[in-house]
């Protein structure tokens, strides 16, 4: 049964992750994918470090797995023995571009099918849906000049829209809802403290 935890900011909701799947962090290895943060200057990637830091703080064994410049075979090797794939935040379009270039899009589906838990934070959460197109007004598609398709991983049939309710995203969210509110995409808006827990074909917001 597939298991996913899709959040705006896992650092703020990590206790919900542990509780949702009754995890024992000390027994689990996490493949931490920081790739989406690569479009930001280093001094502005604090959100990625915060997510990673929380995992370490809770006792998870964390290994970094960057998608940039990797092949699918290399990623398969790096992902051996992991219990959780954690895809951190940043630019969703850049993340998808690197996921497709590296074969991570296929690998992630394979691993989730084998019982590995997929955890997505912000961009990582949006990536799990059928398409990232509705995220456009919240993000900067120009950061992924080689991206040919906005089709996501398709692990769930809805699109996560993170950071709902934050003042700085207010105007961008108005654009999203105006453009995609009646588009046929199933949109789920979550605040920084919320997450969507998926087990099999069922999900609930925590």
The helix (H) or strand (E) run that includes residue 158 is: none
Element at 90 (helix H, strand E): none
The stretch 37-55 carries a mean pLDDT of 85
Instruction: Show me where the domains of the chain are located.
Output: 3-205
Confidence of residue 6 (pLDDT cuts 50, 70, 90): very high
**Catalytic one of 79, 102, 122, 149:** 122
Q: What are phi and psi of 65, to 5 degrees?
A: -130, 95
Percent of the chain whose pLDDT exceeds 90: 82
Among candidate residues 8, 142, 163, 183, the one labeled active-site is: 163
**CATH label, 3-205, candidates 3.40.50.1240, 3.40.50.880, 3.40.50.1580, 3.40.50.150:** 3.40.50.880
Active-site residue flag, 183 = no
Q: Is 102 a catalytic residue?
A: no
| Helix, strand, coil percentages, rounded to 5, for the chain | 45, 20, 35
The radius of gyration of the chain from alpha carbons, rounded to an integer in Å, stands at 16
- Give the pLDDT band (50/70/90) at residue 180: confident
The dihedral formed by the CA atoms of 31, 94, 160 and 181, expressed in degrees to the nearest 10: -170
């Amino acid at each position: 049964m597939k298991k996913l935890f899709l959040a705006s900011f896992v650092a703020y909701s990590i206790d919900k992750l542990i509780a949702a799947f009754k995890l024992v962090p000390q027994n689990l290895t996490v493949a931490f994918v920081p790739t989406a943060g690569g479009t930001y200057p280093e001094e502005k990637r604090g959100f990625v470090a915060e997510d990673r830091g929380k995992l370490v703080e809770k006792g998870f064994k964390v290994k970094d797995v960057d998608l940039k410049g990797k092949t699918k075979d290399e990623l398969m090797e790096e992902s051996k023995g992991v219990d959780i794939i954690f895809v951190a935040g940043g630019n969703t379009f850049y993340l998808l571009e690197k996921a497709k270039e590296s074969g991570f899009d296929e690998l992630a589906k394979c691993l989730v099918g084998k019982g590995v838990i997929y955890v997505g934070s912000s961009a990582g959460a949006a990536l799990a849906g059928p398409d990232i197109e509705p995220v456009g007004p919240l993000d900067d598609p120009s950061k992924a000049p080689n991206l040919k398709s906005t089709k996501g991983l398709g692990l769930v049939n809805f699109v996560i829209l993170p950071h709902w309710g934050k003042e700085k995203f207010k105007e961008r969210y108005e654009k999203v809802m105006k453009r995609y509110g009646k588009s046929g995409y199933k949109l789920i808006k979550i605040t920084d403290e919320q997450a969507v827990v998926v087990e099999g074909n069922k999900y609930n917001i925590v």
